[in-house]
């Protein structure tokens, strides 16, 4: 069972203003090594950057005065995009994997569900344990809750886990979400 996720937040691309696009009348200038050259008018800073065959890129526009650095804009943009791609490649989206138990589950089937749960937890996902009550099982809600608690305690003896969402009963379902850690 897959639980729908919230829509991903799209981070706006950071646009760096450079050379004549810089609006501030004066900027704090850093050279390509990061050493401060002091505060100077923007036109003067752009002229000095052009003499060195570099661009003046506004690094921190919110500072007073804004901070600008003399660097090659093409190389700078490439390095920033590469860093962002690496960050995106290393992130892991946490899914909620579903494990369904029943009131009459056998010992062997329970062991299989435990190994599946451990596999999901070790991948960094959360596990939603679910029991669907059918027919006369509706009167046995307390037993279903005890079964989920037993499943959790057996998992916690093998791996360090905690309740992400407590056990709750909603109609004919008893659910609880477990996470590693």
| pLDDT given for residue 116 in this prediction | 94
Mean pLDDT, residues 115-127: 92
| pLDDT given for residue 32 in this prediction | 86
Q: Residue 168 forms beta bridges with which residues?
A: 175
Mean pLDDT, residues 81-98: 85
Q: How confident is the model at residue 14 (pLDDT cuts 50, 70, 90)?
A: confident
Cis peptide before 65 (omega within 30 of 0): yes
| pLDDT given for residue 46 in this prediction | 92
Quick one: how many helices (H) and strands (E) in the chain?
A: 4, 8
3-state secondary structure of 97: strand
3-state secondary structure of 109: helix
Q: How many residues does the chain have?
A: 181
Q: How confident is the model at residue 84 (pLDDT cuts 50, 70, 90)?
A: confident
- In this structure, are residues 153 and 136 in contact, taking their beta carbons and an 8 Å threshold? no
| pLDDT given for residue 42 in this prediction | 92
* 69, pLDDT greater than 70: yes
Full-prediction pTM beyond 0.85?
A: no
| pLDDT given for residue 167 in this prediction | 92
* 65, pLDDT greater than 60: yes
Catalogue all structural domains in the chain, each as residue range(s) with its CATH number: 19-90 (3.10.20.80), 96-180 (3.30.110.10)
Q: How far is CA 29 from the centre of its chain?
A: 35
Q: Per-residue b/e over 74-106, b at no fewer than 16 CB within 10 Å?
A: eebeeeeeeeeeeeeeeeeeeebbebebbeeee
In the numeric block, which tokens belong to residue 102? 């029943």
| pLDDT given for residue 2 in this prediction | 58
Q: How confident is the model at residue 94 (pLDDT cuts 50, 70, 90)?
A: confident
Q: How far is CA 23 from the centre of its chain?
A: 35
């Amino acid at each position: 069972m897959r639980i729908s996720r919230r829509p991903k937040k799209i981070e706006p691309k950071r646009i760096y203003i450079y050379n004549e696009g810089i609006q501030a009348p004066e900027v704090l200038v850093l050279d390509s090594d990061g050493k401060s050259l002091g505060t100077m008018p923007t036109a003067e800073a752009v002229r000095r950057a052009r003499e060195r065959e570099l661009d003046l890129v506004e690094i921190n526009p919110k500072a007073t005065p804004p901070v600008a650095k003399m660097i090659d804009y093409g190389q700078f943009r490439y390095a920033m995009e590469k860093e962002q791609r690496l960050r995106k490649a290393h992130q892991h989206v946490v899914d909620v994997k579903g494990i369904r138990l029943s009131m009459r589950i056998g010992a062997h089937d329970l062991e299989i569900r435990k190994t599946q749960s451990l596999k999901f937890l070790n991948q960094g996902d959360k596990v939603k344990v679910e029991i669907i009550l059918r027919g006369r099982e509706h009167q046995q809600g307390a037993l279903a809750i005890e079964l989920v608690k037993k499943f959790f305690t057996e998992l916690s003896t093998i791996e360090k886990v905690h309740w992400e969402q407590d056990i709750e009963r909603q109609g004919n379902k008893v659910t609880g979400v477990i996470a590693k850690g």
